[in-house]
Amino acid sequence: MKKIRFERNKIILAIIDILIIALACIFSKFLLSNTFYFKAEEWRQIGITIALSIVIYQIFFRIFNLYRSITRYENGRDYLIYIFVCAISCITTYIIKNIFKIDTFTTKECILSCVLIAVGTVSCRVVIRMLLNETLPAEKKNDEPVIAKRLLIIGAGRSSRDIIKAIREGLKNTYYIVGLIDDNPAKWNCSISGVKILGNRDKIQEVCKKYNVQEIFFSITNISPENKKELLHICQETNAKIRILPSTEDIIKNKNVLDSLKEVEIEDLLGRDPIKLDNNNIESLIKGHAILVTGGGGSIGSELCRQIATFNPELLVIFDIYENNLYNIELELRAKYPNLNIKGIIGSVRDKKKLEDVFSKYRPYLVFHAAAHKHVPLMEVSPLEAIKNNVLGTQNVADCADKFGTKRFILISTDKAVNPTNIMGASKRMCEMVIQAKNKTSKTEYAAVRFGNVLGSNGSVVPLFKKQIKEGGPVTVTHKDITRFFMTIPEAVGLVLQAMTYAQGGEVFVLDMGEPVKIYDLAVSLIKLSGLQPDIDIPIEITGLRPGEKLYEELLMSEEGLEHTKHNKIFVAEPLDIPAEEVNKRVEMLREFVQTENHTMEEIKKVVKKAVPTFVEAEEKNKKIINYKQELEKIEARQMQEHELMPKEA
């Protein structure tokens, strides 16, 4: 059936072309003869010329397979071929006319007729293509009816034009474009490829409501993070699903602009400016040296490996206990940096003998210690594992760095180490004390970098929420008021490398994490970004705080001061002066304690409190915070009542 339809279309096009050739010959004769009256013999000669032109043009049209081209998908290159074929046909017609002494058409008339035929055939195909793309949907599978989604495009530039073109050529039955939005007033009421620009960002909600927009494509790539954040927040309130063009580089890489569109990520909504790093200083410490990353297959560890690899180390040693993660990052780096010397080693930081073998063989110049148990609820269930892996593991790696002459040792710490309310946080606070104590007796420079949650890390809340939304909910939040600091993984690791250049030994660096984010608001945003409505399409369930979980995280203890560094997002917490002997005594106490089993949770917490005096149980701390908040709310309510009762001025 399709073949018959295609053959029929070819015949129709051929007939149209024949009419164009005939009319072009007649018009060129009329226009250059300054008369519309010809004798019968002249008409006979004109007829012969028309017949000759039709035959020759049709022969060349078929030689170049012009009738096998699918008109709907033709482009500028195809139209150039039409013009080229018309020129060859004209020259051939002119040569044959001279050979057979057909003098009816002059050279000028021949050239003019060629121009008219070229313009006519190309124009005809452009019109047919436009009509097909406007009135007919793209090919459908199994003849299933398709209802096009109503689409609004943010931005009226080259990217939006490419999106419109791509949709019309392949997704006509998938999307119906209602219009464009752009903040440039010079563009309002204009159109791109026939799609009208409806106004600025203030029109977004009105347009979405009027046309019942189901999806929004954010096509602006050259925009400040803050401006992008504002626009996305407006789009977020429309209940439309939002997709975004990440960058010009991604568009170039993917070729098809629609392939570059991605889901909006939470980092897009944070509106952070890109972090500027002193790459020269970072490179001076990494280039040409052996670098060891423990926990190199994890979220932070693997990103450390990626960024370190860009600075051309002589050797990158990736140490991890989990073979799958190690395999994946090693495979990735070998593909991207074929000349980089990489050694992937399976091992545990608890195994001091294994660590000594690695340090002895590779003599790392810099050590980034990212290996740790980090999941708060899991470590509440298995507290001794946190002590063994985090505290004793850090002591093992720190001892090896000292023994084998490592230049600098950087511990990856966490905001949960500040006034810890759980075993994991307390163990990381103990790690900070270990490296600060070690710094006092070693030539190696030991420092820690403390930061909060990273977006997209293994087990973090964002991937969990996305999975729950995909499954239809509910999205689970432990408390409506719980807040966390957030930072992207590349952002955090870039600042870790920068902080490493400032380290002189003994510092705990604190990263500026921006404003804390309410986890409940985060859940609401992710649901809206999916084009769904919270508590209507996807329920949000408050499950209650988990054991050891804080309502609010902190980046500094009250005893610690804060000093600025050269970088506006990196600070130094003034170290608490705890004698190295005291720290070593606490480590040995923990070592002896974990060697025996069957301890009760009360016994474990009692020992941890001895080692980390700032450790306070979460329930006690959260209760104080909730009581304090309730008191504040009462005071605010009382002040509002008093304000309302005040006599108004006449």
Looking at residue 413, its amino acid is S
pLDDT classification of 363: cutoffs 50, 70, 90: very high
**What is the DSSP code (8-state) at residue 317?**
E
Q: Give every CB contact of residue 14 below 8 A, 6+ residues apart in sequence.
A: 58, 61, 67
More reliable by pLDDT, 66 or 561: 66
What is the sign, positive or negative, of the torsion defined by CA atoms of 282, 285, 289, 291? negative
Q: Is 70 exceeded by the pLDDT of residue 624?
A: no
Query: Among 312-316, 457-461, 489-493, whose mean pLDDT is lowest?
Result: 457-461
Mean pLDDT, residues 376-399: 95
How many CB atoms neighbour CB 202 within 10 A? 10
pLDDT at position 449 is 95
pLDDT classification of 622: cutoffs 50, 70, 90: low
Q: What angle do CA 200, 268, 551 make, to 5 degrees?
A: 125
Query: Among 359-373, 468-482, 633-647, whose mean pLDDT is lowest?
Result: 633-647
How many CB atoms neighbour CB 375 within 10 A? 13
Q: Is 90 exceeded by the pLDDT of residue 141?
A: no
Mean pLDDT, residues 24-45: 74
In this prediction, what percent of the chain has a pLDDT beyond 70?
A: 82
Q: Which residues pair with 304 in a beta bridge?
A: none
The total number of residues shown for the chain amounts to: 650
By the 10 Å C-beta count (0-12 exposed, 13-18 middle, 19+ buried), 39 is classed as exposed
Q: Measure the CA–CA gap between 159 and 261, rounded to whole angstroms.
A: 11
More reliable by pLDDT, 65 or 146: 65
The 3-state secondary structure of 361-392, one letter per residue: HHCCCEEEECCCCCCHHHHHHCHHHHHHHHHH
Q: Is 60 exceeded by the pLDDT of residue 648?
A: no
What are the φ and ψ backbone dihedral angles of 409, each rounded to 5 degrees? Answer: -125, 125
More reliable by pLDDT, 530 or 267: 530
Q: Is 90 exceeded by the pLDDT of residue 336?
A: yes
More reliable by pLDDT, 36 or 569: 569
Q: Is 50 exceeded by the pLDDT of residue 234?
A: yes
Q: Which residues pair with 129 in a beta bridge?
A: none
* Chain centre to alpha carbon of residue 601: 42
Indicate if 416 belongs to the active site. Answer: yes
Q: Measure the CA–CA gap between 391 and 383, rounded to whole angstroms.
A: 12
Q: Which residues pair with 453 in a beta bridge?
A: 486
pLDDT in tens, 241-267: 888 876 544 444 445 566 666 676 666
Lookup: tokens for 167:
């949709």
How high does pLDDT run on average in the chain? 83
The residue annotated as part of the active site, out of 29, 388, 416, 569, is 416
pLDDT in tens, 90-109: 898 888 877 877 666 678 88
Q: Is 90 exceeded by the pLDDT of residue 324?
A: yes
More reliable by pLDDT, 284 or 562: 284
Q: Is 80 exceeded by the pLDDT of residue 637?
A: no
How far is the CA of 46 from the CAs of 52, 104, 192, 332, in angstroms? Answer: 10, 6, 45, 72
pLDDT in tens, 299-323: 999 999 999 999 999 999 999 999 9
Collapsed DSSP state (helix, strand, coil) of residue 393: helix
Lookup: tokens for 43:
């008409």
The H-assigned helical ranges of 255-344 are: 257-260, 266-270, 279-286, 299-309, 323-336
> What H or E segment, with its residue span, contains residue 643?
helix 618-645
